[in-house]
Amino acid sequence: MTLTIGIDVGGTKVAGGVVDEQGNVLASNRRPTPADDPAGTRDTIVEVAAELVAQYPEAAAIGIGAAAWIDAAGSTVLFAPNLAWRDEPLQAYVSKATNLPVVLDNDANVAAWAEFRFGVAAHADSMVMITVGTGIGGAIVVNGQLWRGANGIAAELGHIQSVPDGHPCGCGRLGCLEQYASGNALVRFGRAGARQEPERAATLLGLAGGDALAITGRQITEAARAGDGVAMDAFAQVGYWLGVALADLAQSLDPQLMVIGGGVIDAGPLLMGPIERAYRDQLANRDRFPVAAIHAARMGNAAGVVGAADLARRA
């Protein structure tokens, strides 16, 4: 049995795990990410890996998933919006420090690969995954392979345009999907609704101490589960835009499955219901043809570690 190490690098934590061929995590650890310190971040990755290698010296390779744009060769972090990396030769550094082969990929790709290999899409040979957290990530699997594009940065689905001349996005464009269907968008919708219709947001405002600007995503979820009108509307808006985007992707790529992952899916039917309705409405005229079903991801927080480790094993 070949064991490999997966490392999930985010803006707040570096999480690692030893993973077997069935996707089981045998050991895990984590460290805070020194996000403003490129050298400190790469050294933290090495520390996490070294600790796991000490426990399982038979580990054969390391996979790293980073919240960043990775070059086509899978060797360099071109840009990381929440980390201080710019043109960071991460693969070579970690490989030299650990004396193990290293595979480097985008965090959404490795999470999607975990779902494709061991999760909800294990029976499919093509899928599109959108990860909904603070922002939006994406990944595409075609014919059993991750599609990375000519330059390694394919499937930045959060930055397809939803609303021409819409809300400004951090990427420099206007109206990106991320501005209408992410965790940040959910909070913006909730706060705006509470200010405009406080009588429909009594539960939500109560949770936020009466201050609409203090509303959080967790409070919106709690209030929506209690039937708060504004909170439910916020989920409906996010779900609508995700459903429209998925319909466009279905028309373009015709995958077997659509998968929604990320922290926001913890809301369950509050989000998945509006997504499904908008998706079906947008594709109503395709009733003569099969349409990809939408599923919630099921690998949870382990997806990044498991997917990175499995990509390392395959490489």
pLDDT per position as a tens digit, 83-115: 888 999 999 999 999 999 999 999 999 999 999
Q: What are phi and psi of 65, to 5 degrees?
A: -110, 125
| Residue 147 shares a structural domain with residue 286 | yes
| Residue 109 shares a structural domain with residue 161 | no
Please check whether residue 135 lies inside any domain of the structure: yes
| Residue 274 shares a structural domain with residue 305 | no
Q: Residues near 1 by Cβ (< 8 Å), separated by ≥ 6?
A: 20, 21
Please check whether residue 170 lies inside any domain of the structure: yes
In this predicted structure, what is the pLDDT of residue 281?
A: 94
| Residue 140 shares a structural domain with residue 261 | yes
Please check whether residue 56 lies inside any domain of the structure: yes
| Residue 78 shares a structural domain with residue 179 | no
| Residue 81 shares a structural domain with residue 185 | no
| Residue 88 shares a structural domain with residue 129 | no
| Residue 135 shares a structural domain with residue 7 | no
As a whole number, the mean pLDDT across the chain is: 94
Planar angle of CA 185, 187, 191, nearest 5 degrees = 120
| Residue 87 shares a structural domain with residue 9 | yes
For residue 140, the enclosing domain spans 124-297
| Residue 34 shares a structural domain with residue 155 | no
Distance (Å, rounded) from C-alpha 277 to C-alpha 240? 8
The number of folded domains in the chain is: 2
Please check whether residue 66 lies inside any domain of the structure: yes
Please check whether residue 69 lies inside any domain of the structure: yes
> Over 80: is that where the pLDDT of 287 sits?
no
| Residue 199 shares a structural domain with residue 264 | yes
In this predicted structure, what is the pLDDT of residue 143?
A: 94
The answer to whether 249 and 241 are in contact (CB under 8 A) is no
In this predicted structure, what is the pLDDT of residue 226?
A: 98
Reported in sequence order, the residue ranges of the chain that DSSP labels E, i.e. its strands, are 4-9, 13-19, 25-32, 62-66, 69-70, 77-79, 86-88, 102-106, 127-132, 136-142, 145-146, 257-261, 293-296
Please check whether residue 119 lies inside any domain of the structure: no
CATH number at residue 52: 3.30.420.40
| Residue 306 shares a structural domain with residue 277 | no
DSSP one-letter code for 263 = G
Distance (Å, rounded) from C-alpha 258 to C-alpha 260? 7
In this predicted structure, what is the pLDDT of residue 84?
A: 85
In this predicted structure, what is the pLDDT of residue 42?
A: 94
> Over 80: is that where the pLDDT of 127 sits?
yes
